[in-house]
């Protein structure tokens, strides 16, 4: 069957749009807790934890085997009666503050929190220095015109 490129693109786009909601979570049905309230708590905690393999995804969004292990640990802790904070603390003790998508403001994370501000200040200072040095180099426009005529 001969289809136009536009029709193929539209079909591909429709397929991607249908698949996106299902690709958002990597949680397998066999991982889920039977109690919907406990499962909701586990998902809330999992969304706050970073996959240490992927590093830019929560463990709920990652399909890495280690992320699955971490999801199972969260569910085990919650099923055992831990609070959300206790389950989160358990994983932080095991993997460090790096596992938190929003790490706490502490001495060892200060560069993480203030780094963007420092970069912005350095860039602004560099632009200010460049603007001031450019104004000095421009000098007198009439003298520049005289120099151009002599060439």
Integer CA distances (angstroms), 87 to 53, 71, 80, in order: 20, 11, 10
**Is the domain 1-104 a CATH 1.10.10.10 member?**
no
Integer CA distances (angstroms), 95 to 44, 73, 99, 100, in order: 19, 12, 6, 9
User: In the prediction, which pLDDT does 85 show?
Assistant: 93
User: In the prediction, which pLDDT does 120 show?
Assistant: 94
User: In the prediction, which pLDDT does 1 show?
Assistant: 53
Q: What is the pLDDT of residues 8-31, one digit of tens each?
A: 666 665 665 554 444 445 677 777
Alpha helices by DSSP H, listed for the chain, are 5-23, 36-46, 65-79, 84-95, 110-138, 141-150
Identify the residue with better confidence: 9 or 60. 60
This prediction's pTM: 0.57
* pLDDT over 60 (residue 91): yes
Q: How far apart are CA 77 and CA 75, in angstroms?
A: 5
Domain parsing of the chain, residue ranges: 1-104, 105-151
The predicted model gives 81-107 an average pLDDT of 88
């Amino acid at each position: 069957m001969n289809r136009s490129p536009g029709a193929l693109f539209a079909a591909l786009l429709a397929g991607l749009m249908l698949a996106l909601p299902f690709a958002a979570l990597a949680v397998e049905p066999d991982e889920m807790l039977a109690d919907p309230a406990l499962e909701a708590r586990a998902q809330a905690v999992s969304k706050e934890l970073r996959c240490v393999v992927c590093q830019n995804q929560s463990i709920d969004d990652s399909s890495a085997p280690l992320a699955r292990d971490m999801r199972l640990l969260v569910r085990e802790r919650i099923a055992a009666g831990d609070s959300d904070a206790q389950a989160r603390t358990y994983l932080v003790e095991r993997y460090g503050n790096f596992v938190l998508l929003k790490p706490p403001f502490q001495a060892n994370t200060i560069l993480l929190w203030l780094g963007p501000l420092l970069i912005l200040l350095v860039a602004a200072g560099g632009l200010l220095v460049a603007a001031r040095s450019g104004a000095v180099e421009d000098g007198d426009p009439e003298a520049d015109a005289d120099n151009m005529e002599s060439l």
